[in-house]
Structure 1
Amino acid sequence: MSDSSSPERLLEQNVFDEWPDAARTLFDGSSLASKTGFTASLLTVDANGHVRTSLLGAGELYAPDSRSLCVALWPQSRTARVIGQTGRAALTFVCDEAFYQVQLRLTPLTRVTGDDSGLVYLIGSIDTGEAQSVRYARLTGGITFELEGDGKAVLDRWERQIEHLKQAAAAASR
């Protein structure tokens, strides 16, 4: 991790190619109920130069190791289609009082037995990541949400999705 800040600079920028501890904990697939409300933006650029965004929660993101991220997407989403063509995306989120932007190279994962979710699973390696913060303001959150209705059903679905991401990531590493 490098720090491009100096005493004169207000912007602190850390560049990384491995998940910092706070981000790795966020994407470890555990304690999903405590991570409800967290939102990350997965951004792609299509052939026409249009930016496409999918908003993802903690139940759709899993880091199997310090340099990778698994993602669960609906196959009909524009973001999934663009990733299928380019293999590239950027993930942005707020964590540990900093704004993160992580450039990812993504490839499909094989479906796991018993998964009837219809989701597409991808695994991405970190091309480069940046965490930015400023000394005069503290980021307290990014895009957040509250579950409506049967929140337990969503958490149960997330648990299954994370388990499928873990199985697919493990099968890919063999």
Structure 2
Amino acid sequence: MVVRQTVMVCVLAVPAYLGVWWAFSEADEPTPAAPESLFLTDYSKAAKGSCVKFTGPGEDDLGLTVIDCKGAKAALKVGTVLTNTNGECPRGEYKVLRDTRHNAALCLLPNATEGDCFELDTEDLQRSVVAKFDCAAPRANVQVVGITEESCPEEAELGVPYEEMTLCLRRVR
């Protein structure tokens, strides 16, 4: 009889202990940090304002990774997410990437702040490699001298329009 009661207590105690342990163990664990980058396989899931970089060796590889906009490699920002690959970007000189598998497209613009330098073809941004560099780098060919809703300052040689702003640039090479 004593053995039966001991076994019964053990059988009931183990699930009770595991239940209490499970309930309290999740609350004590720290929340995992958000990943520094996220591979984007469905362009319709992109968020306006997030920054991206090409995942492959060049821009011909349409794999994109979402990255921190403050990073040195963050040269492109999502301006608009289109829900149709045949859709048109709003007013502007966007670099357009189309995702036919998910019927979506991204309208990308330079992730720029005043003073940033880029290598980009100002005549054809769609075909241009857009890369951010230190202004002393030989590949940097334009510098951002202003970001405005209206007209560019006098030192700007050209203005690149976008839906919500105009990127004011001057040539550095």
TM surpasses 0.5: no
Please indicate the TM-score interval, normalised by the length of the shorter structure. under 0.3
More strand by share: 1
TM-score (norm 1): 0.25
Higher relative contact order (CA 8 A, sep 6+): 1
